[in-house]
Structure 1
Amino acid sequence: MNGDTTNKIALFPADDLPEGEIRAETLPNGDVIAVYNVDGTFYATQDQCSHGEASLAEEGDLCGKFVECSWHFGTFDVTTGEPGLTPCEIPLKTYRASVEDGKVCVEY
């Protein structure tokens, strides 16, 4: 996770995001994030691709732990934010995600 974490928010029931799916959420500070369900474990990154202006939640494809941006077909590891395939070179900002009382929570 990048940056200092000072707040936590419950976003939605964990059952609302099936395995292999992505969902966009807006945090109280205005950051738009993408939340991923990878084999029952939740991860969160910035929603905007670091290479272009594509929304990863709206336009990305999740394959295992990698999200592919549909604009230029670069990939990111959603568990770390690290870029995979070019042209993406800048890591995504990540957020710690957890499930508490059946809800997906994110620290920001």
Structure 2
Amino acid sequence: MTSPTAEVRTVVLCQRDDVPDGEARRFDVDGHRIALARIGDDFYAIGDRCTHQNYSLADGWVWPDECALECPQHSSSFDLRTGRPNCFPATQPVPVYEIRTQGDGIAVVLP
């Protein structure tokens, strides 16, 4: 028996130059609150709500050497590759979204 395939779609969030190196921006798309971070030529998309107290991660700081995004409220940081928290007080991971480039557009894959 085959299992049903979940429908996914790709949504362009912005153009490459819309997010400066070492910064993050918030995007709200179809009920998904996404923090898009840029480190050099690499882009990462994670859920924008800190799992400790629901603050916007995009308002925080990008740490390139750790590939992490730090919450501005209580300093929890999240690995941009896995969504896992790197330190307390957050203990639960945030969602991670697959990134796809479409020309100069930066897109995410939504479930």
Q: Which amino acid aligns with 1:50?
A: T
Equivalent position amino acid for 1:44 in 2: A
2:77 aligned residue? 75
- Matching of residue 57 in structure 1 with residue 87 in structure 2: no
Gap regions ≥5 residues in structure 1: none
How many residues were matched structurally? Answer: 103
Shift >2 Å, 4+ stretches = none
Compute the displacement of 1:98 (Å).
2.1
In structure 2, the CA distance between the partners of 1:5 and 1:37, relative to structure 1 (3 Å rule), is farther
RMSD: 1.3
For 1:41, the equivalent position in structure 2 comes to 42
The offset of 1:39, in angstroms, is: 2.0
Distance in 1 between residues matched to 2:42 and 2:50, nearest whole Å: 21
TM-score by length of 1: 0.89
Gaps of 5+ in 2: 1-5
Could you tell me how far apart the structure 2 residues matched to 1:105 and 1:88 are? 27
Q: Could you report, residue by residue, the CA deviation over 1:11-66 in whole angstroms, capped at 9, with x for unpaired residues?
A: 11111111111000111x221110010221111011110111210112x1111111
Which has the greater radius of gyration?
A: 2
Between the aligned partners of 1:78 and 1:55, the Cα distance in structure 2 is 14
One-letter amino acid of the structure 1 residue matched with residue 95 of structure 2: K
Q: Distance in 2 between matches of 1:72 and 1:47?
A: 15
Superposition TM-score, scaled by structure 2 size: 0.86
Q: Give the aligned residue type for 1:38.
A: I
